[in-house]
Amino acid sequence: MPYKLSISSWKAFPFLILLVFIAPVLIVLSSLFGDYSENWSHLYNYVLFDYVSNSILLILGVIFLVLIIGLSTSWLVTNYSFYGKEFLEWALILPLSIPPYILAYTFTGLFDTTGTANNLSREILNLGQDFVLFPNVRNIYGAILVFSFTLYPYVYLVSRTAFMNQSRSMLEAGRVLGLSQFQTFYKLSLPIIRPAIIGGLMLVIMETLSDFGAVDHFAIQTFTTGIFRTWYGLYDLNTAMQLASLLLIFVGVFYLLERYSRSETEYTSTSSTFRPTKEIELKGLKSSLAFFVCFFPIFIGFLLPVSELAVWAFSSNLGFFNEKFYTTTFNTIYLALFSALLCATLALLINYSIRFTKSRFSNLLSSLLSIGYAVPGLILAVGIVQLLAWLDNKVLLGLEIVLTGSIIGLIFAYLIKSYALANSTFESGFKRISPSLDDSARILNSSGWSMLLRVHFPLLKTSFLTSLLLVTSEVVKELPATLILRPFNFDTLAVSTYLYAAEERMFLAAAPAIAIVAIGLIPIIILTRMIKSSRPTTNKDGYDS
Amino acid sequence: MILEINNLQHSYDGTTQSIKNVNFKVRSGEFISILGHSGCGKSTLLRLIAGLEEQTEGTIKINGEIISDDKFQTPTEKRGLGLVVQEKALFPHLSVLKNTSFGIKNNAAGRSKAMDLLDLFEVSHLSSKYPNEISGGEQQRVALARALAPEPRILLLDEPFNALDEDLKNNLHNETKKIIEEKNLTVLMVSHDKNEAIFFSDRQIIMENGRIIEEID
């Protein structure tokens, strides 16, 4: 291939993929400029206000709780030494392996009038059948609890890193100037890590707005449930797309805020004389209290739902691990692995092409290609269905429906949604490879594909494997896009869990839910290893070594 | 003339010129050192010759043939040059032998040629080791052997001895000079060390603010 052509193909490749990735989103947004049906007037007059107000209430409640849980736990584990701290420090991220919809199902099973918790309380306290100790959770407050206890690790992770990177000298200067321990926290530490916290919060908000399974189970009217009902209840795809566009604009604002806050995270110390914070040892009641504060979210967000699922799955004799379970697991794993393989390969090729061609648009390209993580799965599904239908009709001339309802749409959605995960892994992987290796390879007659296969790929094997694992676990959890785009009679673990839970057959939902949690633990294990090795080391004088 | 540089200009950002109207010629078998303070443009000049940067104006000719001007660029890998940089840039996932034979055919003849070069630089006993298992001086010997393996028309050296301690540097200076003379190589070396330049060079080019201010035979 002539050199100029070879360079041009590498240059064009990321732009081509970007075009494919944003097509479904543009299709959804284009509906705003089309006709508005009577259903739209109905939605506008009667339910749109509920969608907006419920979404805002949900967001505010979740922000409030995740801030309390995320900040208190991260402050404790970075600044104090107390009983069980080493275990709690990594265990606090375990709830990330539980998708909100699974916590919602277990909450219902636990706290309904005849749920496990209320039955137990009646038995222990020897009270009548009418006695209800735990209140009903099938409402917006229950949903706030569900999202808060599954999503707080986003705030915990970023604030823990930010607290850890704060210089001890700066905090000591505050103490010398007369600030108490608590004043040092809210007057110095908190304002400095504010951009990092906002970044974490934006992720929490986007996840909350994107969710379908939990709000649907609690019968709360939000944008996602509205889109689903408009499409499958009123059979009005156009109005569903218009509703989806509104949600997209809503999410877009938070996405931009998240990107902005990332660019503002340079407050942390980069000085060569950086001194990590010194841990204060807590004893007696204070140590127990710190343990309780950190253990409680792990208990509610991980131990309680996993125990409930285990009880459902193993204590009843319903034969959960039957052929259907194995078929569903097989479907999920091969779909997830195939998507992950594609996604990792794509991220490798795009990052390489940006590096190889020294693209001037590298940051912009990377941001735009990663935008899919912020787009709710339901919106992607709506856009993809329209795109595939158009391709079937216009390109394949409607001779046969090939793409619509096939597995292609599903894989396409997973690629868009998970690309950001694979991309961030490769971005950091490529940054670790010195550009002088590229120069040496080129001067030794190795360029393009040859340099990728002989130099970069062997050095990026770990990044490739990490992104495979991260994308696999993300795909396994994805519910709304799978529910809509899956081929007829093709169930995955997430769909299976949703369908059983929708029919209130919680015992049957337990086995696939446990499998989802087990697979979701994979990235947690990776994160745990990173957390264990992330604490700055100090020499005898307390200086960073 | 093996290398001719005419009216070479370069800018990284489109406004500030890092190379300004540079002209010089190199005869076959000549050793030229380019000297100057850091930031004077000497490494950029080497990268332009290697094709790792694109000039804004001017021409570069090798053996009378234009390899780059403001319209056309022969890709780096097609210029037939060798390059050794201060950071050595050995491929960390490849053994010493595989690093050395990277730019030549991976067959018995290629491996034998690589082993001969490693022998020449007295590191053949390290052929199965990986870069992280050998010392800085040994790494630089491997980098030199690797650059010579494809028999480059011109060898470009970008402060290759900079990170080495004095004793090691003196030893390697002597051995490298012997090999360069034996093989009658054309070499262009960037350095900030006058003594090193005097030891090696037939001619020295002094640069300041992107310009050649003096040539010393």
Is the Cβ pair A441, B102 closer than 8 Å? yes
The Cα A484–Cα B147 span in angstroms is 57
Report chain B residues whose CB lies below 8 A from the CB of A454: 102
The Cα A339–Cα A411 span in angstroms is 6
Domain membership flag for residue B140: yes
The CATH number for B157's domain is 3.40.50.300
DSSP classification of residue A195: H
* Tens digit of pLDDT at every position of chain A (545 positions): 445 556 678 888 888 999 999 999 999 899 889 888 888 888 888 888 999 999 999 999 999 999 999 999 998 998 899 999 989 988 998 998 899 999 999 998 888 887 888 888 888 888 777 777 788 888 999 999 999 999 999 899 888 888 887 766 777 777 777 777 777 777 777 787 887 788 788 889 888 988 899 999 999 999 889 988 888 888 888 898 898 888 888 888 888 877 777 666 545 444 444 556 667 888 889 999 999 999 999 999 999 999 998 888 877 666 666 788 888 999 999 899 999 999 999 999 999 998 888 777 777 787 788 888 878 888 889 899 989 888 888 776 666 667 788 889 999 999 998 998 888 888 888 888 888 899 999 999 888 889 999 999 999 988 888 888 888 888 998 888 998 899 888 889 999 988 888 887 878 888 888 889 988 888 778 777 776 665 554 433 333 33
The Cα A95–Cα A157 span in angstroms is 12
Q: Are residues B62 and B161 in the same domain?
A: yes
- Provide the pLDDT for residue A534: 58
The shortest C-alpha distance from A442 to chain B (Å) reads 5
Which is it for the CA torsion B141, B146, B147, B153, positive or negative? positive
Hey, what long-range contacts does A260-267 have (CB within 8 A, 24 or more apart)? A261/A195, A261/A196, A261/A198, A261/A199, A261/A202, A262/A195, A262/A199, A264/A195, A265/A162, A265/A195, A265/A196, A265/A199, A267/A192, A267/A193, A267/A195
Report chain B residues whose CB lies below 8 A from the CB of A443: 50, 52, 76-77, 79, 81-83, 103, 147
Q: Are residues B163 and B175 in the same domain?
A: yes
Is the Cβ pair A446, B103 closer than 8 Å? yes
Q: Are residues B72 and B7 in the same domain?
A: yes
Domain range for B141 is: 90-150
CA angle A445, A449, A451 (to 5 degrees): 50
Class of domain A9-532: mainly alpha
Q: Are residues B129 and B188 in the same domain?
A: no
- Provide the pLDDT for residue A397: 67
Radius of gyration in angstroms for the set of CA atoms belonging to chain A, rounded to a whole number:
25
Is the Cβ pair B52, A434 closer than 8 Å? no
Q: Are residues B22 and B68 in the same domain?
A: yes
The shortest C-alpha distance from B143 to chain A (Å) reads 10
The Cα B210–Cα B11 span in angstroms is 10
Give me B21's structure tokens. Answer: 């109207």
Phi, psi of B213 (to 5 degrees): -105, -15
Burial (CB count <10 Å: 0-12, 13-18, 19+), residue A444 = buried
- Provide the pLDDT for residue A148: 96
The Cα A277–Cα A77 span in angstroms is 11
B residues 58..117 contacting A (CB < 8 A): 75-79, 81-83, 85, 87, 89-93, 102-103
The shortest C-alpha distance from A368 to chain B (Å) reads 25
Report chain B residues whose CB lies below 8 A from the CB of A445: 77-78, 103, 150
Q: Are residues B138 and B197 in the same domain?
A: no
What count of residues does chain A have? Answer: 545
Q: Are residues B10 and B74 in the same domain?
A: yes
Q: Are residues B135 and B158 in the same domain?
A: no
Domain membership flag for residue B58: yes
Shortest CB distance from B83 goes to which of A3, A439, A446?
A439
Q: Indicate the domain borders of chain A.
A: 9-532
The answer to whether B28 faces chain A, any CB pair under 8 Å, is: no
* Sheet hosting strand B65-68, strand order edge to edge: B17-26, B3-11, B57-62, B65-68
Report chain A residues whose CB lies below 8 A from the CB of B146: 440, 444
* Sheet hosting strand B154-158, strand order edge to edge: B81-85, B154-158, B187-191, B31-35, B203-208, B211-216
Number of independent structural domains in chain B = 2
Amino acid at A483: L
Report chain B residues whose CB lies below 8 A from the CB of A434: 87, 89
Read off the pLDDT of residues B38-66 as tens digits, 9 standing for 90 and up. Answer: 888 899 999 999 988 888 899 999 998 99
The answer to whether A441 faces chain B, any CB pair under 8 Å, is: yes
CA angle B134, B138, B139 (to 5 degrees): 75
The answer to whether A458 faces chain B, any CB pair under 8 Å, is: yes
Shortest CB distance from B75 goes to which of A434, A436, A447?
A447
**pLDDT class of B204 with cuts at 50, 70, 90:** very high
Domain membership flag for residue B25: yes
Alpha carbon B37 to chain centroid distance? 18
Domain membership flag for residue B85: no
- Domain boundary pick from B123, B150, B177: B150
Shortest CB distance from A440 goes to which of B51, B78, B83?
B83
Report chain A residues whose CB lies below 8 A from the CB of B103: 443-446
Instruction: Choose from A5, A443, A451, A461 for mutation: most chain B CBs within 10 A.
Output: A443
By C-alpha distance, the chain B residue nearest A6 is B75
- Provide the pLDDT for residue A348: 94
Is the Cβ pair A444, B81 closer than 8 Å? no
What count of residues does chain B have? Answer: 217
Q: Are residues B145 and B170 in the same domain?
A: no
Q: Are residues B54 and B111 in the same domain?
A: no
Q: Residue A110: enclosing H or E segment and its boundaries?
A: helix A100-111
pTM: 0.80
Give me A350's structure tokens. Answer: 């795009």
Is the Cβ pair A439, B91 closer than 8 Å? no
DSSP classification of residue A94: G
Shortest CB distance from B77 goes to which of A436, A442, A459?
A442
Q: Higher model confidence: residue A280 or residue B163?
A: A280
Q: Are residues B146 and B180 in the same domain?
A: no
Shortest CB distance from B81 goes to which of A3, A436, A443?
A443
Q: Are residues B66 and B54 in the same domain?
A: yes
Report chain A residues whose CB lies below 8 A from the CB of B50: 439, 443
The shortest C-alpha distance from A354 to chain B (Å) reads 16
